[in-house]
Amino acid sequence: MELFSLNPFSEAMATQNTDVNKSVATVENDTTASLFNTFTFFNEEYIEPLSLAEKTSKTPRFYQANTVNSVADMLEQGFTRIGVKSPTGTGKTLITKLIALSTRVRNLLKIEPTKKIRVLYVSNKHRLNRQAEAEYRENSSVELILQSAMSSIPDEVMEKGWDITFLDESHHEAMHSIQKILTKMTSRPLIGFTADDQRGDGLLLKFERFHVAISEYDAARRGFTEKVGVNTVVDLGKNDKSELTIKLLEKYSTHMGNTIIFVRTEREARKIQRHLRYKMGLKAGILDSRHKEDDLDKALDKLSEGKIQFLVNCQKIGEGIDAENITDVVLARHFNSPAEKKQYIGRAIRPDSPCAVWEFTNPLVDSVVSRDVVGLTKYERLISIKNNQWDERLLSGEDKTWGQMSKLRVQPEITSENDLDAYDQEMESIMSSVDDSYFEEEHLYLMTA
């Protein structure tokens, strides 16, 4: 994979790509002769064989191979704006690469056998582009052009052109910045990818044809995504959910693994994070408007690695965030959109670990419930406070992980006192990135709570 151009989201991203380019150049020099030896994948669930210009380290699943051939069929019929829907965690980035490697697609786009296909990959998040770069890195017959949805296409890219465009999180297609980019597409095929084609604002996605790779139900049934344990916490209506969240964490934190807590306001986020750290003695990070994309990446990596146990989030983590070993999400806020709630739960739905959601639900006003937006549930539990005592009832299914989830937290390997000192310093850097003056109200809370 040759990384031709990058619209820099940050200086760190640009520096990282310098090393990538060096390693890729070496690969290209060594493999030019065998660059286009085709490989054909097939199994009984493929509608037809999948022929690729290069071998991939991941064998395509049936729905991924069938999606590639379906897209090729649509291109052959003359359609140039095609939408692909596939649930969170089912490998949409890999599907884009398989399309770029498809010999059928290359022939339809009239890519000469000795030429690389030039792919413009557009997304609205730094982390998505980084994931795409990592996915494409092993293949040298693709020239990948990473493009921020927030920036204009560079003149040098426009002059040289490209062969096909992939738009990640394409339910954002109506964004003004994306529309500006789309005006430059002319006749080049545009393939959009999304986990959900429904928008909360009711705007329609403008694609000529849509292909559903696999449903949420089938993905969960086949084990490509995790079945979800649903813990419904009865919420009686306060706008500020921090008090109820803190009570829930004090009672049930040992039932949670690597956990993301979603709240509505920064005040709630700060209050919860500091309670976890200073009152409960747990490793907890925070993400809010002060933090940049690089901070988000670092925090998610630390959560995945078990260096922090809880990450309290206000409007920084949502869709398009791929992180490993996330076992629990706490939805301590109200949702009007099923698509939005599905995206938030999707942060833990990948099959690398069990998945549990703790949703706050007010029976009088909430109509969007978790069980209706996931593929399959493995259990449903109702939790409430009665007479200042927690009451829990398992309504359906079986929960073999109850009380065990905290044991699934990935812990850092510490083999010496130096490791422990370095770990403590790193944690202090992660979790105290602002002045104490920012938390004056929380100081008062801590002294009086």
Tell me the fold of 221-429.
Answer: Rossmann fold (3.40.50)
- Strands (E) across 264-401 are located at 284-287, 310-313, 328-332, 355-361, 377-386, 389-397
Q: Can you give the residue ranges of every domain in the chain?
A: 2-214, 221-429
The sheet that has 81-85: what strands, in order across it?
Answer: 2-6, 142-148, 117-123, 164-168, 190-194, 81-85, 209-212
Asked if residue 328 lies in contact with residue 258, where contact means CB atoms within 8 angstroms, the answer is yes
Q: What would the pLDDT profile of 150-167 be if each residue is shown by its tens digit?
A: 777 888 888 888 899 998
Determine the Cα–Cα distance for residues 186 and 312; give it in Å rounded to an integer.
43
User: Which of 81-95, 176-190, 352-366 is least confident?
Assistant: 176-190
What pLDDT shows up at residue 129?
A: 83
- What's the rounded mean pLDDT across residues 304-315? 88
What pLDDT shows up at residue 271?
A: 95
**In terms of DSSP H, where are the helices of 77-125?**
92-101, 103-108
Burial class (CB in 10 A: 0-12, 13-18, 19+), 175: middle
Grade residue 255 by pLDDT with cuts at 50, 70 and 90: very high
Question: How many CB atoms are located within 10 Å of the residue 435 CB?
Answer: 8
What pLDDT shows up at residue 357?
A: 94
User: If you average pLDDT over every residue of the chain, what do you get?
Assistant: 79
What pLDDT shows up at residue 159?
A: 85
Q: What would the pLDDT profile of 189-220 be if each residue is shown by its tens digit?
A: 999 998 876 654 444 457 889 999 999 999 99
Determine the Cα–Cα distance for residues 172 and 179; give it in Å rounded to an integer.
10
Q: Is the pLDDT of residue 427 over 60?
A: no
- What's the rounded mean pLDDT across residues 265-276? 94
Q: What would the pLDDT profile of 31-78 be if each residue is shown by its tens digit?
A: 433 455 788 888 889 999 999 998 899 999 999 999 999 999 999 999
CATH code linked to domain 2-214: 3.40.50.300
- What's the rounded mean pLDDT across residues 342-370? 85
What pLDDT shows up at residue 419?
A: 56
What pLDDT shows up at residue 418?
A: 60
Grade residue 133 by pLDDT with cuts at 50, 70 and 90: very high
Q: Do domains 2-214 and 221-429 have the same CATH topology?
A: yes
- What's the rounded mean pLDDT across residues 421-438? 48
In degrees, to the nearest 5, what angle opens at C-alpha 16 toward C-alphas 12 and 22? Answer: 155
What pLDDT shows up at residue 335?
A: 83
Grade residue 7 by pLDDT with cuts at 50, 70 and 90: very low
List the one residue out of 381, 374, 376 whose CA is nearest residue 395.
Answer: 381
Asked if residue 99 lies in contact with residue 108, where contact means CB atoms within 8 angstroms, the answer is no
